[in-house]
Amino acid sequence: MGARAGARGAVVTATAVVCGIVSLVVPGVAHADPADPAPRSDKRLEEVAKEVNRLYRKAEAATEAYNQARGASRKQSREIVRIARAVVDAQKRMDRLKAQAGALARAQYRGGSLPAEAQLLLRSDPEEFFRDAGTVRKGHQATKGLIASLSATQRDLDRYAKSANEQWKKLEENRKRKADAKKKVKARLAEAKELESQLRDEELERLRELEREAARKAQAKWLGSGVLDDAGGEASKQGRKAIAYATRQIGKDYEWGAEGPRTYDCSGLTSQAWLAAGRGIPRTSQEQWRQLPRVDIEDMRPGDLIIYHRDASHVGMYVGDGTIVHAPRPGRQVTLAGAGSMEILGVVRPDK
């Protein structure tokens, strides 16, 4: 009896600790009764859901910042390589020009150091004078051209040096931004996973059901607004290819920073789908929102991209009938979802 009583006491104590941690982590969650191991109410689970979603949203925003910094770093690395090749070519050109200048100087020295004009005036034969006058004129032009080429090549080398220095600075800045964003992603994901780990299996299942229920309500409200009543556009040829690619990825895991072929994040999926359709688009959801042509929701057609949340931190591809295909968040897979189940910022069209 003593051993069983001790075991029961340990269970009660452990449960109280877990409940206490959750109530401290989640704003607005009341402290649980240490002696009451009952599952949390739906209201308390909804509070947990809000906090979990907030953390995943922050992680997704940091993921897009990471993707943008990584993309910029790649671009700058390619630019530095291009500049290095241009420097090599310019240096070779400079070496050839200096060799030509040296040859001219040696020729003048062999001529007794007299300028070509003076040597011309000393000609006694008039025919030689007129014949060599043309040669001197050509020599002057060649010398001027050589000097101009030397100056232009030196300016190129100076410009390349300055440009390379600027690109190195930008590259270093983006490396720091990428590292900071990566740290934020990992921190937010760790917080969300820690919070979820404090829930029982039945609470996790109920939490997911509440999330699905909230999504269904949001979708019903969106459709009920009549926003799609006049929408009947058909996908373009490229749009159909992009949809086919994206829907083939259904069931694959979300992974932040990934762009296939085994895992994806939200903008990795949309950018790769449109690349497969023959049109390259920006890598991140923020840049897709900023750079791609916008269309009204009423004019939306399959293949268009729907950008979500005020910070444009999420994106899905519209496939028709009020549905998107998207990569939701860590721990989930590429799936179909209601286009109105999240806060819509706007719609962009890659092939407008």
Query: pLDDT tens across 58-92, in order?
Result: 888 888 888 888 888 888 888 888 888 888 888 88
Same domain membership, residue 20 and residue 64: no
> With 70 as the cut, is the pLDDT of residue 15 above it?
no
Q: Is residue 190 located within the same domain as residue 303?
A: no
Q: Are residues 69 and 182 located together in one domain of the fold?
A: yes
Residue pLDDT, tens place only, 181-217 = 878 888 888 888 787 777 788 888 888 888 889 899 9
266 given a catalytic annotation: yes
Q: How far apart are CA 258 and CA 334, in angstroms?
A: 12
- Whether 117 and 149 map to the same domain: the answer is yes
Residue 320 is assigned to a structural domain of this protein? yes
Residue 246 lies in a domain: yes
Torsion of CA 333, 334, 338, 341, to 10 degrees: 60
305 closest CA partner among 344, 254, 276: 344
Q: Which of 19, 31, 140, 314 is catalytic?
A: 314
Neighbour count for residue 120 (Cβ, 10 Å):
16
Domain identity same for 71 and 143: yes
pLDDT in tens, 235-280: 999 999 999 999 999 999 999 889 999 999 999 999 999 999 999 9
Whether 162 and 74 map to the same domain: the answer is yes
Given 19, 31, 266, 309, which residue is catalytic? 266
Residue 87 covered by a domain: yes
Active site residue 19: no
- Residue-wise pLDDT for 35-51, tens only, equals 445 566 767 777 777 78
Distance CA 153, CA 219 (A): 63
Domain contains 260 = yes
Q: Are residues 30 and 124 in the same domain?
A: no
Looking at every residue in the chain, the average pLDDT score rounds to 78
Query: What CATH number should be reported for the domain holding residue 173?
Result: 1.10.287
Q: What is the pLDDT of residue 111?
A: 54
What CATH number should be reported for the domain holding residue 275?
3.90.1720.10
Is 80 exceeded by the pLDDT of residue 314?
yes
Residues 243 and 129 both lie in one domain: no
Sequence-ordered alpha helix ranges (H) in the chain: 2-25, 42-110, 116-121, 126-197, 201-224, 237-248, 266-276, 285-291
> Residue 175 CB: number of other CB atoms within 10 A?
15
Is there a catalytic annotation at residue 140? no
pTM for this model (two decimals): 0.62
Q: Given the residues 31, 140, 309, 326, select the one marked as catalytic.
A: 326
Provide the 8-state DSSP code for 252. Answer: P
Residue 224 is assigned to a structural domain of this protein? no
